[in-house]
Structure 1
Amino acid sequence: MLMKILFLCGAGFLAALVDSIAGGGGLISVPAYLLAGVPPYYSLGTNKFSSTAGSFTSSIKFATSGKVDFKILKFAIPFTLIGAVLGVNTVLMIDQTFLYTLVLILVLFVGIYSFFSKSIGMEDKFQGINAKNIALAIILAFALGFYDGFFGPGTGSFLIFGLISIFHFDFVKASGNAKVLNFVSNITALIMFAINHKIDYALGIPVAIFMILGARIGTKLALNKGAKLIKPIFITMSLGVAIKMLYSMLT
């Protein structure tokens, strides 16, 4: 049991560190729970518990560093919450085979486009809010809240890419705002898992502590190193999500 906890704490630390910089931490933490022999539903629920602690820590750090725009988020957060609730409640009604293929294509596009575009996300060119970009942000928040509620892979990558596209943020500011929105959908799904008793707190609590540490270090690195650090990690994690999804489809 001790070796299992130590293994999961190490994986959780690394997952939170990466996730706080560019998203995609679930690529590390969920397989780690499964590899440790935790049943699938409990792996998802326990991971959601520990990763929510990490995303909360990262959100606070980004916010206190001035990299979160609450003038935008006050419109987007309610729709993320509504989307996540609807997503969790409709998971069994969706043909996930079709969804898997669609998401694979989209996440590959995000990673490849970001790789070949030298300028995307490297400078903050935000020029304020207007009716058009707020409407697009609400649509993005609702759609990805819904998506994260019942499926999830690549949510952080899509949020960062979407916020850069809509508001012309750099990667640092996009990551900060994306982390807050991702935290809202995470905690909504966490509540649903808790209600259904799918969380192993004996594993989740120690892993959560290490994910908080990983998130603190990762966020500090992101804030200090900026877009030059975030962009390559963002591309790597986007393509990593795509490769994992393709592997799952073929096996």
Structure 2
Amino acid sequence: MLSNLDILVVVIFGFLGAFINSIVGGGGLITLPALLFVGLPPATAIATNKLAATLGNLTSMLTFLRAGKIDWKLLKPIVPLVFIGSMLGAFTVNYISPDLLKPLIFLMLVVVLIYTTIKRDWGSVEKRREMTKKRKVLFISTLIAIGFYDGFLGPGTGSFIIFAFIIMGFDFIQASGNAKLLNFTSNFAALIMFLFLDTVNYSYGIIMGLSMIIGAFIGAKFALGRGTNYVRIIFILVTLLLILKNGYDFFIEELYSGK
């Protein structure tokens, strides 16, 4: 039986997580701790978060799609590859501890933050690079790897996808829109695996998912209305929070494991 407090926590933090996630990613930083707070075991919380996040990402993806901010022609052949990558990641997490990736993720987030902060005009104007064969292979491989990571662990997936698109010359709004389609794809793929493994709590997942639909819609409208400068600032702030969260988790665990 869900208490009123539990429902309130799930609804409020689901809305906030989806609002942030629909703009620059990183919503799991808010929603996953909320599910752990109401008492779900870690594995169940991760699976339940995928159900809610899938609903939220679907909403923001459709909003960006209607605004013409998703390059469907470019992404059409990439979507199934990201889907497969995410399913493999969700399957692998049952055999390999996600903790192995935490130091690498921490370093990658630091690189993303430094690069985005230094290049102040980066992502403000669309300047697409020529998609040579080498760049295409590297770009697609990167997105597949990020899809695998989303199924395997997850936090920061949206930010990594946005960063990959910005490197290719997309502006923040277009990068965010494209990221929503791929993030929805990886979320949905991982969700299928978690449903198969029967680790989803439907009560919490559906309640949080409904609040995330509202948060995602408002967040996507905010991003489209405010423009690239606002999105860039939020991207930097969310990346910083992800660094602090991942760094805290990793170093605290190392400290306690050393005792």
TM-score of the pair, normalised by structure 2? 0.92
Number of residue equivalences: 250
Are the counterparts in 2 of residues 75 and 138 from structure 1 also a CA contact under 8 Å?
no
- Which runs of structure 2 are paired with 1:181-200 in the superposition (5 Å)? 181-200=182-201
Question: Separation in 2 of the partners of 1:54 and 1:191?
Answer: 16
| Identity of matched residues, % | 43
Question: Separation in 2 of the partners of 1:105 and 1:216?
Answer: 32
- The one-letter amino acid paired with 2:199 is K
- Is 1:234 matched up with 2:235? yes
Structure 1 match to 2:256:
none
Structure 2 match to 1:74:
76
* CA-to-aligned-CA distance 1:96-133 (integer Å, 9 cap, x gap): 44421111001111012111211111111236655344
- Which runs of structure 2 are paired with 1:11-160 in the superposition (5 Å)? 11-94=13-96, 96-126=98-128, 129-160=131-162
Are the counterparts in 1 of residues 89 and 150 from structure 2 also a CA contact under 8 Å?
yes
* CA-to-aligned-CA distance 1:37-65 (integer Å, 9 cap, x gap): 12212211111111110000000111111
* CA-to-aligned-CA distance 1:157-205 (integer Å, 9 cap, x gap): 1110111102x01000000001100110100111111112211111211
Structure 1 unmatched runs, 5+: none
Question: Separation in 2 of the partners of 1:215 and 1:91?
Answer: 27
Structure 1 match to 2:174:
173
Question: Separation in 2 of the partners of 1:18 and 1:219?
Answer: 9
Distance 1:221 1:81, change over 3 A: same
Q: CA deviation at 1:6?
A: 1.2
- The one-letter amino acid paired with 2:198 is H
Question: Separation in 1 of the partners of 2:245 and 2:191?
Answer: 23
Are the counterparts in 1 of residues 36 and 42 from structure 2 also a CA contact under 8 Å?
yes
Partner SS state of residue 75, structure 1: coil
* CA-to-aligned-CA distance 1:224-249 (integer Å, 9 cap, x gap): 11111111111111111111111111
TM-score of the pair, normalised by structure 1? 0.95
Partner SS state of residue 78, structure 2: helix
Structure 2 unmatched runs, 5+: 253-259
